[in-house]
Amino acid sequence: MIRNILQSILRYGSCLLGVHTFFIVTISFVNSLAAQHTNREIGVSFAYAGQAPFVASGNDRTNFFKQPLIWNVRYQVATNYVQSLSVVLERVSEQRTREGLWSDYPNTSAIPYNANISERLSMTTLGLEGIRTLIRTDEFRLGIGISLGYGFGSATANVQNIATGTQQTFESCDTWSGLLLSAFLRVRYTIFLSNSLDIGVTGSARIWGFPSIAPLSECLTAYNGPELRSVFEIGYLAGISVALK
């Protein structure tokens, strides 16, 4: 009987040891998959066109940032090897053309005229980005993140009077400001690895936009940019990053 009890205790102990070892190995594996590569990383990304609005208004004066040029520069300042925080500088600009009525002095007695209008809106924002690594191998990393930024910009319009051919350039009478939000998935693949550097290509799919964007003040009798006050897009970024070991 004593022999049977001892055998049962040994089997039970072996089972507990096996379960304990399994969980230790599993947790270590998951942690290794979730780990960042280095303490510091610099990334540069861009996009040209390829953005799709959540809701299109059908108004050429409000449907901005469907085909923008975007530059995004980030510098990682903190990480716990699973989550990281970066400072992000982003510039978004787009030029749109249309034909329509134009008034040199809105809301006055000036007579509108038919014109070819080329309007540009540009915004530069500074903010923070947080990302959490979901999967990592030696060369590949997948993370999910959010970013928040605030910045300023301007609008210009090049206007050609169709009847006379006369051309004029108008600048918004006040500076624009906007709050930039985005949520994204980012992949990174290492293309060069050394003792001091890890260089990789990156790609992001994101939902981004300006929930609030407008000139700082209203200019009722002068050009002040397009009739855009908020915008959200689905888009991408592609680029390169350098991790410093």
| Position 124 confidence tier, pLDDT thresholds 50, 70, 90 | very high
- pLDDT at residue 66 in the model: 87
Residue 67 shares a structural domain with residue 86: yes
* Rounded average pLDDT over 85-92: 98
- pLDDT at residue 22 in the model: 38
Q: Please, which residues have CB within 8 angstroms of residue 168's CB and are 6 or more apart in sequence?
A: 104, 158, 159
Q: What is the pLDDT of residues 176-209, one digit of tens each?
A: 999 999 999 999 999 999 988 999 999 999 999 9
Identify the CATH number of the domain in which residue 78 sits.
Answer: 2.40.160.20
Strands (DSSP E) found in 49-139: 52-53, 69-79, 83-102, 113-136
**How many domains are there within the chain?**
2
Q: Residue 29's domain spans which residues? A: 1-34
Residue 82 shares a structural domain with residue 25: no
Above pLDDT 70, what percent of the chain?
Answer: 82
Residue 23: pLDDT over 60:
no
- pLDDT at residue 24 in the model: 40
Residue 114: pLDDT over 50:
yes
Residue 169 shares a structural domain with residue 55: yes
- pLDDT at residue 38 in the model: 74
Residue 5 shares a structural domain with residue 18: yes
Q: Please, which residues have CB within 8 angstroms of residue 94's CB and are 6 or more apart in sequence?
A: 64, 65, 66, 67, 68, 69, 120, 121, 122
Residue 217 shares a structural domain with residue 189: yes
Which residues partner with 128 through β-bridges? 87, 148
In contact, 141 and 188? CB cutoff 8 Å = yes
- pLDDT at residue 13 in the model: 45
Cα separation, 152 vs 180, in Å, equals: 11
Q: What is the pLDDT of residues 137-148, one digit of tens each?
A: 989 999 999 999
- pLDDT at residue 129 in the model: 98
| Position 37 confidence tier, pLDDT thresholds 50, 70, 90 | low
Residue 29 shares a structural domain with residue 41: no
- pLDDT at residue 113 in the model: 96
Cα separation, 53 vs 129, in Å, equals: 22
Residue 142 shares a structural domain with residue 172: yes
Is pTM beyond 0.85? Reply is no
Above pLDDT 90, what percent of the chain?
Answer: 71
